[in-house]
Amino acid sequence: MLPAPGSGLLLLGSAPFPGAGELSAALSALLWGSSGIVMARIRPAPTAGALNYGKNVAATLCFIALLWIVSGSPIPRGLDTRMFWIFCASGFLGLALCDTFLMRSLLDIGPQRMTLIFVSVPALTALIAALPPLSERAPWPVWVGIAVCLGGITLAIRRQPAGGIEPVRFKRGVRNAFIAALFQTGAILLARYGLSQADAPLLDSAVVRMTAGTVGVAILGAFGGRLGSWHRQLRRPSTALMLFIASFFGTFLGILANQAGLLWATNAGVATTLNSMMPIYLLPLSVIFLNERFGRREVVATLIAVAGVALMMLGS
């Protein structure tokens, strides 16, 4: 659901007005959060696999169409064989495996709680990147931010929320969100490695990642005997329409807004922090559109976790 670095498209020129980068970064988080609300409201609810498969197909078609418009060909041509397979692996981890577990978590605990746990990705990425072979060194504010972020998430999941979610579903949703975060961390590190090794065209790499994720989900569904069921679920007109809207605005435009924010913002750390504000946006959105209820502890935990991300990004 959320893009890895390098999955977007630096196709835009200079910022059209002061603050355009920061506004775009905040907009990307709002787009991603709103798409989660739309997916959670689809009735009858498709399975997690069907949601991820349909979302990937729709977003992939949008990216291929954009590549065709920009380059005159729908086929990525700017990657050598090694980079191609690195971005394929990144797409499979991030868009096939990660997003499948993320959709399972979404259906169990809702978009706000799922997203709050998923903000652990920057912390996990920094922790793993500190190990060989990357051995990246981070300044001390980053480590403080990691501790604060993980502390906020721990506070949020330490106790079962009152009412609305059965204990088994809650534990399963939390587990799947953390598994998704681990897969997304691997996808980010692969994408970062690929982009650091070659001057890879970002639009080409985005198309390769999206296509690999879509094909990966289709293969997993075929081997599990679920692909036919997914197609039947997605053939419902209302389901197909709502999922396309969520994919177009959340995955496609969300990635574009994310990359515009990173390109135009005066400070990349500020842009990344604004990108991570989705759990805060989802607090009122989930109450309004999904009738979810959050206690003071969950609100405080969300603020703490996002503050930790801000410390990480601004201190890096």
Distance, C-alpha 104 to centroid of its chain: 14
Angle (CA) 35-41-46 rounded to 5° is 95
- Gap between the Cα atoms of 51 and 243, Å rounded: 7
| Residue in the block written with tokens 């997304």 | 184
Give alpha helix (H) positions in the chain.
20-40, 48-71, 81-91, 99-118, 121-129, 140-157, 167-197, 202-223, 227-234, 237-246, 253-264, 268-275, 278-290, 296-315
Contact 131, 245 (CB under 8 A): no
Give one word for 17, left, alpha or beta, with left for phi > 0 and alpha for psi -120 to 50.
beta
The pLDDT of residue 188: 81
d(CA 211, CA 272): 25
Q: What is the mean pLDDT of the chain?
A: 85
Q: Would you state the pLDDT for residue 5?
A: 44
Using pLDDT thresholds of 50, 70 and 90, give the confidence band for residue 198.
Answer: low
Q: Which tens digits make up the pLDDT trace of 272-288?
A: 777 778 888 888 889 88
46-95: pLDDT as tens digits: 999 999 999 999 999 999 999 999 888 888 887 888 888 998 999 999 99
Q: How far is the C-alpha of 242 from the C-alpha of 226, rounded, in Å?
A: 21
CA 13 to chain centroid: 25
Q: Tell me the pTM.
A: 0.86
State the Cα–Cα distance between residues 48 and 36, nearest whole angstrom. 12
Task: For residue 159, name the pLDDT band (cuts at 50, 70, 90).
Answer: confident
For the chain, how many residues are written? 316
Longest distance between any two alpha carbons in the chain, whole Å: 55
pLDDT score of 133 more than 80: no
Q: Does residue 260 surpass a pLDDT of 90?
A: no
Which tops the pLDDT comparison, 312 or 48?
48
Q: What is the pLDDT of residues 167-189, one digit of tens each?
A: 899 999 999 999 999 998 888 88
Q: Which of 316, 285, 279, 282 shows the shortest CA–CA distance to 301?
A: 279
Residue 47 per-residue DSSP state: P
DSSP output for 248-284: IIIIIHHHHHHHHHHHH-S-HHHHHHHHTTHHHHHHH
Residue burial 146-163, b: 16+ Cβ < 10 Å; e: rest: bebbbebbebbbeeebee
Please state, in angstroms and rounded to a whole number, the distance separating the CA atoms of residues 77 and 248. 24
